[in-house]
Amino acid sequence: MHILVCIKQVPDSAQIRVHPVTNTIMRQGVPAIVNPYDLYALEEALRLKDRYRARVTALCMGPPQAEAALRKALAFGADEAILLTDRAFAGADTLATSYALSAAIRQVHKGLPVDLVFAGKQTIDGDTAQVGPGIATRLDMQLLTYVSKIVSLDPAAREIVVHRRSEGGVQVLKTQLPALITVLEGINEMRFASLTDMLRAERHALALWSKDDAHIDDATKIGLKGSPTAVSKVFAPTPTNRRAEIIETQSGQPIDLAATLVAKLFSNRPDVALAINPSPTPDGSSL
């Protein structure tokens, strides 16, 4: 069993600030992290490794400094790590990204056939959730997105059964390997890496692949050239002219503030007040 995990290094979006005057992103000092959703994918792959003695390869496309993300994957227990890095990939949208990653996965597959590909449900910087489906489509793998549980895996029959989150419920799906799975947050709890693991990961050889190593001959399919979409502009959300009416009372006591607010709401916005329909209490009575 050979499992490949796609990970991405992303800026920690929780720490991104927009310059108040120029409306540009202030990148300085924003730490790069492994996309948090990808860690669930990695952990799920490592659990299958523990159980089926699978081999786990981590793949990341990004600039040279994305090596840090792969070192982390190695520390947690990935067996191999490949950094797909080439200036020619710059400016790729999701279509061009899935092209490059698929090409790399095909090369990995030639060395040792890939049975499963894992990815996070989306990244926190792009938030598109498009690259996973893109890779599965290009490699003609069965696609299982938003997986909340792996129910069973039968390596001999090459079958996998999963729970897939869908609208209004969970689909229990059975499919054939090879398959690409994007996992939901909370599917597992990430293990810890010991200091020994981290030191071992630092010493581990890391494969650096250029576009040629991934056997990408057609440069019109990657990077900016291979991207059907273009960003025409970036801007800050328009500030509203609104300023909240701040509720004030003479006493300033919470109960008076609350009563004033509720009275205002009921008289100024009767339509909204009517939308308040308290659910019946457990004894059947309602307010």
Of residues 175 through 194, those in contact with another protein by CB under 8 A are 175-176, 185-186
Question: 124 or 207, CB closer to another protein?
Answer: 124
Question: 90 or 236, CB closer to another protein?
Answer: 236
Query: Is 93 near another protein (CB under 8 A)?
Result: yes
Question: 68 or 124, CB closer to another protein?
Answer: 124
Please classify residue 22 by burial: count the beta carbons closer than 10 Å to its beta carbon, then call 0-12 exposed, 13-18 middle and 19+ buried.
exposed
Residue list 216-275, contact with another protein (CB under 8 A): 227-240, 242-247, 254-255, 257-259, 261-266, 269, 271-273, 275
Query: How many chain residues are in contact with another protein, going by CB under 8 A?
Result: 90
Phi, psi of 55 (to 5 degrees): -105, 135
Residue list 127-146, contact with another protein (CB under 8 A): 127-134, 136-138, 142-146
Residue 5 CB, nearest approach to another protein (Å)? 18
Binding part of the chain for another protein, among 38-46, 64-72, 75-83, 88-96 by CB under 8 A, reads 88-96
Phi-psi region of 20 (alpha: psi -120 to 50; beta: other; left: phi over 0): alpha
Number of neighbouring beta carbons within 10 Å of residue 284: 6
Quote the tokens at residue 86. Answer: 């080439």
Query: Is 156 near another protein (CB under 8 A)?
Result: no
Residue keyed to tokens 């692949």: 209
In b/e form, how buried is each residue of 259-283, taking b as 16+ CB within 10 angstroms?
eeeeeeeeeeeeeeeeeeeeeeeee
Query: Is 207 near another protein (CB under 8 A)?
Result: no
